[in-house]
Amino acid sequence: VQADAPYRMLPGDIDDWYVRNNNGEMVQLIELASGQWTYGSPKLTRFNGSSSREIQGANVEGISTGEALQEVMRIADELPDGIGIEWTGLSYEETQSGNMTGLLYIISALAVFLILAALYESWAIPISIMLVVPFGIFGAVLATWGSRLWVDGGLANDVYFQVGLLMTIGLAAKNAILIVEFAKTNFQEGMSAYDAAYVAAKQRLRPILMTSLTFILGVMPLALASGPGSGAQNAISVGVLGGITATTIFVVFFAPYFFIWVYRMFKHEEVVQGREDRGEAYPYEGDKNA
């Protein structure tokens, strides 16, 4: 319905319009309805053919974007039928990539394992190295969880923490390699598995401490940073700091043990090859070097 131009120049002119009631009589519109000013969308938007409204927001401090997205989806589940949500922009990218996080970690660990298997030409030795990685992951998670002691709400499990977790996996494997590589060499030269692991741990203790302490002191300024931009620095450094600290403590004790365990499980094919190359006989069951 549209009135002539002189009768629609002002918003209040609509009150003077006449309409026909159920009895066929002409009455003013104000006698049937009232109007008021309110806010509405300046434009009508559609998404995938349906009427839609765009909502933008940000996560509060201490809550990751992933947790904020989950909360929005929980609220959306309570909406009436016919109303739903769809993600766009960065939120859409995060929901798509977040579903693949576990798969990416598995692929990363598998790639490290295959590289070590090619390096040592064995499927057994890389296992003793990869068994040390959970200590680094545990330390990173524990440090991030404990960050709530000095950060309001604690640090979130965001993309910075996940990048730091990948760094922790690589550095944990590196420390284990320092021991396992020397233990493997000693083992092939005729030492028992126990002696080979003990000597390797004793020989590589100082290099492990030097490299780990250097890295820890290097990321310490990032972990203690404050001010603008410090959130990303804290998130990526605190997890790495906790992971490397835990790895440094546990790798010296558990890497030799894992090497001995793997040797006993996989029948020490490497030492057999090494002794055959030197023309030595295969050790019998009671040999102390077996």
HSE at residue 109, side-chain half, CA atoms within 13 A, is 18
Indicate if 85 and 120 belong to the same structural domain.
no
CB atoms within 10 A of CB 126: 23
Q: How far apart are CA 189 and CA 183, in angstroms?
A: 10
Looking at this protein, which amino acid is placed at residue 5? A
Indicate if 112 and 245 belong to the same structural domain.
yes
Residue 169 covered by a domain: yes
Indicate if 111 and 148 belong to the same structural domain.
yes
What are the backbone angles phi and psi of residue 111, rounded to the nearest 5°? -65, -45
The confidence score (pLDDT) of residue 278 equals 47
Q: Which residues pair with 266 in a beta bridge?
A: none
The SS3 call for residue 111 is: helix
Residues of the chain with pLDDT under 50: 270-276, 278, 280-290
HSE at residue 205, side-chain half, CA atoms within 13 A, is 12
The tokens of 179 are what?
Answer: 């021991």
Domain of 249, CATH number, reads: 1.20.1640.10
The confidence score (pLDDT) of residue 283 equals 44
pLDDT digits (tens, 9 = 90+) for 251-282: 888 888 888 888 877 755 544 444 445 454 44
The domain containing residue 151 runs over which residues? 101-277
Name which of 97, 226, 227 is nearest 159 in CA terms.
97
286: exposed, middle or buried (Cβ count in 10 Å: 0-12, 13-18, 19+): exposed
Residue 220 covered by a domain: yes
Indicate if 150 and 235 belong to the same structural domain.
yes
pLDDT digits (tens, 9 = 90+) for 4-45: 878 778 877 787 888 888 888 888 888 888 777 777 767 777
The confidence score (pLDDT) of residue 149 equals 65
Residue 228 covered by a domain: yes
Residue pair 66/158 in contact (Cβ under 8 Å)? The answer is: yes
Residue 266 covered by a domain: yes
Q: Where are the alpha helices (DSSP H) in the chain?
A: 65-77, 89-98, 101-120, 125-130, 133-146, 159-188, 193-223, 230-265, 269-277
Indicate if 235 and 110 belong to the same structural domain.
yes
Four-point Cα dihedral 20, 22, 27, 32, nearest 10: -110
Indicate if 90 and 136 belong to the same structural domain.
no
Structural domains in the chain (count): 2
Indicate if 160 and 90 belong to the same structural domain.
no
Indicate if 70 and 154 belong to the same structural domain.
no
The confidence score (pLDDT) of residue 284 equals 36
The confidence score (pLDDT) of residue 129 equals 86
Indicate if 107 and 88 belong to the same structural domain.
no
Indicate if 131 and 272 belong to the same structural domain.
yes
Residue 268 covered by a domain: yes
Indicate if 56 and 168 belong to the same structural domain.
no
Q: Which residues pair with 46 in a beta bridge?
A: 51
DSSP secondary structure string for all residues of 160-221: HHHHHHHHHHHHHHHHHHHHHHHHHHHHHTT--HHHHHHHHHHHHHHHHHHHHHHHHHHHHH
Residue 212 covered by a domain: yes
Indicate if 150 and 264 belong to the same structural domain.
yes
Residue pair 166/108 in contact (Cβ under 8 Å)? The answer is: yes
The confidence score (pLDDT) of residue 268 equals 52
Sign of the four-CA dihedral 184, 187, 192, 196: negative
